[in-house]
A and B are shown apart, each in its own frame.
Chain A
Amino acid sequence: MRTRPLPSLALLLLCGGCAGWQSALDPQGPSAQALGQLLHGFVLVLAAIWLAVLVVLAVALRRRSRATPQAADRHAGIAVGTACVATVLVITGLTLASYVTTRVISAGAEAPLVVRVRALQWWWEVTYPGEAGPDVVTANEIRIPAGRPVRIELSAADVIHSFWVPNLAGKQDLIPGRDNVLTLTARRPGQYRGQCAEFCGMQHAHMAFMVIAEPPEAFAAWRAAQQADSAAPAGAEEAFGRQVFEQKPCGACHTVRGTEARGTNGPDLTHLASRATLAAGMLPMTRGALAAWIADPQTIKPGNNMPMVPLTPAELQAVSAWLATLR
């Protein structure tokens, strides 16, 4: 038979959708891998059954006219009997496979890194309880050492959310008043995108986060840097920015360690500029984006929990200049 390059090429193109930084079909850790295998297993078995049913149907249609009534009855009996037995076998098999996978992915790990993740409308608070030193609190970005299991303790502040990093693990809900746990490991360094996977209100679609897996030494260095207080203002403009931040309502909602600002309604901004994005993946972390966000958060992310605070152009400039230096 002559091969048809074009259609097969088109199919290959589709496979491009399988890889990427947010894809359950491109597992980068044992948990996601187990789920991927389960998924492939289900697809194979169910596709085989579908094909078999179609073949049997075709044969039956072709032979229908030739059978005598008695033979037809007998055939129907055999067909129904076989189908029942096959159904029981297949369902038992799939249930077992699913049970085993669940056991594998929910098994704890030896000496994991503990990270607490609290979901709020519409961002993620990430805490690393102090291992030699103060707690590290950050937002919308979870750094982990590659190769080491991470025990993620999940809680929610307001409504139900769901934690999902498709490349690393399955979904796990965050439920107010209940503590859930998810263990995941990233096999190699890389950036994996995560997303809230349970509708939680107006900005649910803009509740993303990044998991950044790094070599263990890089992770340790990052953690040590995050434990430090915020950098001192570099110049006069930055110093004025910090003063504005402390005097305006910003400090009532945000914490910047090393300043008067100790609020807890919004993300900790102590090392804001070390993160890659702003407002749970809405904007890139640049000085311009910072100014745009502070000037009018409700137009950029309508309904979110940060109000617009009136600032003069000079104040806005200075605050964003200062925040952009908080590495």
Chain B
Amino acid sequence: MDRVGGWKDGVVLAVVLPALVLLGGCRLEDRETRPDPPVAQALGQVALMPNGIGGSPPEVYAALGRPYRESAFHLSQGKRLYEWFGCQACHADGQGGSGPSLIDGWWNYGPDLPTLYTTIHDGRPGGMPAFRDRMTRDQIWQLAAYVQAMGAYTGSLAAPGRSDRPQTRPAENRLPAASAPLR
């Protein structure tokens, strides 16, 4: 009897302990739906080169732990904002239309976050409207990160959620564009 009990204890240990360890993985990613007002204010302080292309993100961005490009939550928000604020009307799902393609690897202004932020915030002379009065700074960062993720050339562990409707182009969590070119 004793020996059978010991054998059972072993099974319990072998099954329950790993299950407990796995439970640790169930932690929900932190989702900050709205940054503190001072942080939101500071998120606008992008230092750009005089030509409006290239620059450094605000200091608070590093202090926050560079959240936008590395968090699936922010990328998913960016994806939703892309639809909500009508980017599709001119850029389709990234392939471009009356506005340029955002996934072909050719940038008029650039794919780094400060440049993308400024493109969306201030608009660009060739017909890109400014969104500074329509979206919060936080939202513009999310959107900029999403635009960067759409046509990324390097892999990333974070990707936005899958679309419920049929994909018109490779999903955002595909191989980076450099190894599997996008059309």
A interface vs B, CB < 8 Å? 158-159, 248-249, 252-253, 265, 296, 298-299, 302-303, 305, 307-310
Contact = CB atoms under 8 A, between A and B. Distances in A.
A56 B7 CA distance: 40
A310 B136 contact: yes
Contacts of B85: 249, 252, 307
Nearest to A301: B33
Contacts of A309: 134-136
B3 interface: no
Nearest to B164: A158
A307 B164 contact: no
B33 A307 contact: no
B110 to A, nearest CB: 25
Contacts, number: 38
B84 interface: yes
A310 B37 CA distance: 12
B164 A248 contact: no
B34 interface: yes
B81 interface: yes
Interface in B17-34: 31, 33-34
B80 interface: yes
Interface residues of B, number: 14
B86 interface: yes
Contacts of B34: 296, 298-299, 308
Contacts of B119: none
B86 A252 contact: yes
A158 B80 CA distance: 14
A307 B86 contact: no
B139 interface: yes
Contacts of A303: 33
B133 A248 contact: yes
Contacts of B139: 307-308
A-B residue pairs, 6 tightest by C-beta: A298-B33, A249-B134, A310-B136, A302-B33, A307-B84, A299-B34
17 contacts: A158-B164, A248-B134, A249-B134, A252-B84, A252-B86, A299-B33, A302-B31, A305-B80, A307-B81, A307-B85, A307-B135, A308-B34, A308-B139, A309-B134, A309-B135, A309-B136, A310-B135
A247 to B, nearest CB: 9
